[in-house]
Amino acid sequence: MTEPRETQANALLDTLQRERGGQLKVFLGAAPGVGKTYAMLARAAELKRQGSDVVVGVVETHGRRETAALLEGLEVLPRKAVEHRGHRLDEFDLDAMLARKPRIALIDELAHRNAPGSRHERRWQDVVELLDAGIDVYTTINIQHLESLNDVVYRITGVRVSETVPDSVFDRLRDIVLVDLPPRELIERLQQGKVYVPEQAAHALQAFFSPSNLTALRELAMQTAADRVGSDLREAQFARGLPGVPLRRGVLVAIDGRGQSEYLVRVARRLAERRDAPWTVVTVQSGKPAGAAQQLELDHAFALARRLGGMTEVLHGGSIVEALLDHAARSGISAIVIGRTRERPIARLLNRTLTQQLIQRGAHYELTIVSTPAARARSRRSLRELGGSLGARDATLALMATALATAFGWAVERWAGLDDLSAVFIVAVVIIAARTRMTAAVLAAGLCFLAYNFFFIEPRMTFFIGARQGVATVLLFLVAALVAGRLASKLRMQVLALRASNAHATALQTLGRQLASAADLGQVVKAGRDALKRALEADAIVALGDALPERDASTNLDDKDRAAADWTRKHGQPAGRYTDTLAGSAWWFLPLAAGKVTGVVGLRFPAQTSRLGAEQRRLAEAMADDIAQAVVRTRLVADLEDARVSGESERLRSALLSSVSHDLRSPLASIIGAASSLDLYSGAMDAADRRSLLETIRMEGERLDRYIQNLLDMTRLGHGGLALNRDWIGVDELIGSAVTRLQRYQPQARFDVSLADGLEPIWVHPALIEQALFNVIENACKFSPAGAAVAIDVRRVDLEGGALGSSPEQALRIDVRDRGPGIPAEERARIFDMFYSVERGDRGSHGTGLGLAICRGMIGAHGGSVEALPGTAGRGTTIRITLPHAEPPPNSP
């Protein structure tokens, strides 16, 4: 039940993405001269009369008067002059059209190649940028310019078209208009000079414009238009959730870079389009390094696949069949496309060919085998022209290994007396197979066979073998050498494949660890930049937002580079070197996209790196994706932290307002009430009542002063403005001062003070420590029952909490114990937070929630600590203050 829902969701998503930008309308023709431009201008003129905003970006009339007449009344954008090799070329002005931003732009000849120095290499890229900007585009194209039909058109006409448009552009179609003209009428127009000038027309009639070619191209155009209409219908059905619609399953095409790769890519594209299915192009690296020509073909095929809208991937494994089937199983593939390869008779006899193994082991897949013998023959000829697969170095190594094995065998035979020396030569073959390739191992096996026969088989110094036993020995030796060489070579290829795969995985794993430990965006950028430099051996930049590094020796970004980076950031597509967009830049820019573009990655490879391999491209793109995810994660964490801090600040603000409103109002109310009574009724009062009211005013004023002082102390603590003016003071003096001050406000309070013998004066800020002790003792008195004494115990301990000793690591410990209800264990750590208040805690309903917080700040400024512990006998709470021993600086007075 999940697949139909997924299919419907995919269809809805495709529809939304296509409608989010501008709409593309294509006027499709089978050949030049059928009237595509005329039909487009006629439709534009009609829309203009209806009030639509239509602007002509570029239209080629080719001297046709009836076509030029349709331009009257339409706004035509001036073209942009581009200088190239001393010539002035007029091209479409993309920036002017983006600035004008009409509702509809007319862009003729979609497959046109722009002049060098333009922003994009092809005009279809200009159209894509207009669509992304929300501008509807009307354009024209002939069927032979569609990339996936390039080989089909070549087989029909014998002409290889160089200006092509990727099929992915057609995926953005909103509407397609087939402009049709029968071949006979088109040929008549050609003969009348309405398509080409007479000289060109005569040549065209003999070549491209033959009746058979035009008929085939016309049928191809009709089929393409019908396929597009069918695809739109299927998407509409998917979006509406109609039943009976075939499910999307993937198409996988495997290429090897041996003469037919681009053809297979185009075949797979057409197959996937008919099935409305995603498709992927893969190559399998089994450890054997690809030659320069082979790698170049693979790179071109991968680039073509990406232009056509497919995905690309490089697979690693010792077995091509296992790698293909494993990827197909993981990726939901239903059809596999391969080219027909040369099959060795022995492999065919043993059912070991690629085709046979895929049929046997992938029975539930649809297998399409494409045969292109001409391309295969061209590939074989090109490989032979390159000198074959055996290089001079490999041949030299085979000869040296044979010579060394012969010399070693002679020494062993002479000094050790061994007769059977075949193992010596087999070891030489295995070493060559492990160090080079299979062809060198076969050569080494043949040379070792001849050397063993010539030097060690009777009669010696001749290739003649005198006994049957000798013939059997030599033949068995040859078989053993070939088998050992084959196994060693296969093992080597598997090791190389595993090494390449591990290098890719290690680079990504290293980047992942560094990004995971990055705490902010600066660390993410640094980790990503360093990892890109190491893994790709290139200069790298990681820029977030609109920021790019300033001009310096390490980056050296010129105006072209910055323009390419800006284009990548705006459009979310690669630009610069190795692309068709602003290719004049020395940097290759990739977008950092995770939902939306958050920045760009720039890579500058050495000048001699003329092209990027598929592995380098995949690794760079994967690392850019990881960096983008890390940027999003880091920003999310920062946003959450900001939200947390904002919430905490709001909570503290609310608590402060609540505390101020209560703790300022209460003493003020008492002061105002007492003062009002004295003002109104002082004559009726005796001296004792007046003194009582005056005492109330004084005590409430002092209470108000203490509260304001607490607020000021917390402000200084929070902003680091609390300065320590240390001096020597006796411990008994500190305790006595705090107790005496408290008894002025609470005469009924009782204390049980225990001071250890021999307590020396301490080097502290006396006023701060006295205020901290006052806050703690006042808190204890508040929650002790009436008549119960607050216990104060003072002694010296070591910092580990052991007994008193002479160690310099000593501290003063002050325990203040009350007899109140106590504090639950889970709330003891929180009582030192500002404005924290619980009925059962040491704050009570009348506390400000600042006393113990201030105490912790003041003691902490001296390097000490404050903690809440349970009381004795299960009742009350003990507040423990620990002050480390401190000495004044040597030069202090």
Give the CATH number for residue 821. 3.30.565.10
pLDDT value, residue 107: 94
- Given a contact cutoff of 8 angstroms between Cβ atoms, the answer to whether 527 and 511 are in contact is yes
Report whether pLDDT(513) > 60: yes
pLDDT value, residue 384: 41
Q: What is the CATH number of the domain that holds 524?
A: 3.30.450.40
Q: Are 405 and 360 in the same domain? A: no
pLDDT value, residue 359: 77
pLDDT value, residue 387: 35
Q: Which among 161-175, 247-261, 425-439, 442-456 has the top mean pLDDT?
A: 161-175
pLDDT value, residue 621: 85
792 pLDDT band (50/70/90 cuts)? very high
Report whether pLDDT(386) > 50: no
750-755: strand order across its sheet: 750-755, 789-798, 810-817, 877-884, 865-870
Phi first, then psi: give them for residue 60, nearest 5 degrees. Answer: -105, 110
- Given a contact cutoff of 8 angstroms between Cβ atoms, the answer to whether 372 and 341 are in contact is no
Tell me which of 730 and 888 has the higher pLDDT.
730
pLDDT value, residue 3: 46
Which of these ranges, 448-457, 691-700, 772-781, has the smallest mean pLDDT? 448-457
Evaluate whether residue 333 is within a structural domain. Answer: yes
Report whether pLDDT(788) > 80: yes
Q: Are 376 and 403 in the same domain? A: no
Report whether pLDDT(390) > 80: no
Q: Whole-angstrom Cα distance, residue 633 to residue 640?
A: 10
Q: Are 31 and 167 in the same domain? A: yes
- DSSP secondary structure string, 426-456? HHHHHHHHHHS-HHHHHHHHHHHHHHHHHHH
In the block, which residue shows the tokens 């022209």?
Answer: 385
| Average confidence (pLDDT) over 1-11 | 49
pLDDT value, residue 482: 62
Q: What is the CATH number of the domain that holds 144?
A: 3.40.50.300
Q: Are 324 and 446 in the same domain? A: no
Report whether pLDDT(886) > 60: yes
489 pLDDT band (50/70/90 cuts)? low
pLDDT value, residue 126: 92
Q: Mention every residue, 6+ apart, whose C-beta is less than 8 A from residue 395.
A: 440, 443
Task: Quote the number of domains for the chain.
Answer: 5
Percent of all residues in the chain with a pLDDT value above 90, rounded to a whole number: 9
Tell me which of 116 and 139 has the higher pLDDT.
139
Evaluate whether residue 92 is within a structural domain. Answer: yes
Report whether pLDDT(465) > 80: no
Domain that holds residue 286: 250-385
Q: Are 406 and 376 in the same domain? A: no
Q: Are 353 and 407 in the same domain? A: no
| Average confidence (pLDDT) over 755-777 | 86
Last residue of a domain, one of 366, 385, 404: 385
Q: Are 439 and 491 in the same domain? A: yes
Evaluate whether residue 670 is within a structural domain. Answer: no
Among 173, 162, 158, which residue's Cα sits nearest to residue 228?
173
Percent of all residues in the chain with a pLDDT value above 70, rounded to a whole number: 73
46 pLDDT band (50/70/90 cuts)? very high
How buried is 402 (Cβ within 10 angstroms: 0-12 exposed, 13-18 middle, 19+ buried)?
A: buried
User: How is residue 256 annotated by DSSP?
Assistant: -
| Average confidence (pLDDT) over 801-811 | 58
| Average confidence (pLDDT) over 854-875 | 82
pLDDT value, residue 382: 42
CB-based contacts of 603-611 (< 8 A; 24+ apart in sequence): 603/532, 603/536, 603/538, 603/539, 603/540, 604/538, 604/539, 604/540, 604/577, 605/536, 605/537, 605/538, 605/577, 606/538, 611/296, 611/299, 611/578
Evaluate whether residue 503 is within a structural domain. Answer: no
Q: Are 781 and 832 in the same domain? A: yes
233 pLDDT band (50/70/90 cuts)? low
Evaluate whether residue 703 is within a structural domain. Answer: no
Sign of the CA dihedral running 58, 63, 66, 69: positive
611 pLDDT band (50/70/90 cuts)? confident
Evaluate whether residue 192 is within a structural domain. Answer: yes
Q: Are 622 and 738 in the same domain? A: no
Tell me which of 765 and 707 has the higher pLDDT.
765
pLDDT value, residue 196: 62
Q: Are 370 and 480 in the same domain? A: no
Report whether pLDDT(834) > 70: no
Q: Whole-angstrom Cα distance, residue 846 to residue 848?
A: 7
135 pLDDT band (50/70/90 cuts)? very high
Q: Which residues pair with 753 in a beta bridge?
A: 792
What is the overall mean pLDDT for the chain?
Answer: 77
pLDDT value, residue 653: 61
User: How is residue 122 annotated by DSSP?
Assistant: B
Q: Which among 242-251, 366-375, 772-781 has the top mean pLDDT?
A: 772-781
pLDDT value, residue 383: 38
Q: Mention every residue, 6+ apart, whose C-beta is less than 8 A from residue 637.
A: none
662 pLDDT band (50/70/90 cuts)? low
Q: Where are the alpha helices (DSSP H) in 517-544?
A: 521-536
Tell me which of 712 and 109 has the higher pLDDT.
109
Evaluate whether residue 507 is within a structural domain. Answer: no
Which of these ranges, 17-26, 90-99, 569-578, has the smallest mean pLDDT? 17-26
130 pLDDT band (50/70/90 cuts)? very high
| Average confidence (pLDDT) over 451-466 | 70
Q: Which two three-digit tokens encode residue 570?
A: 């705006």
Evaluate whether residue 655 is within a structural domain. Answer: no
Last residue of a domain, one of 337, 366, 385: 385
Tell me which of 484 and 381 has the higher pLDDT.
484
pLDDT value, residue 103: 93
Tell me which of 510 and 202 has the higher pLDDT.
510
Q: Are 73 and 175 in the same domain? A: yes
Report whether pLDDT(194) > 80: no
Q: Whole-angstrom Cα distance, residue 599 to residue 625?
A: 11
Last residue of a domain, one of 481, 496, 511: 496
| Average confidence (pLDDT) over 423-444 | 71
pLDDT value, residue 45: 92
| Average confidence (pLDDT) over 205-214 | 72
pLDDT value, residue 554: 57
Q: What is the CATH number of the domain that holds 325?
A: 3.40.50.620
Its pTM surpasses 0.75: no
pLDDT value, residue 375: 46
pLDDT digits (tens, 9 = 90+) for 529-561: 888 888 888 888 888 887 666 554 456 788 888
Report whether pLDDT(843) > 60: no
Taking residue 207's Cβ as centre, other Cβ atoms within 10 Å add up to 12
| Average confidence (pLDDT) over 140-164 | 85
Q: Are 774 and 825 in the same domain? A: yes
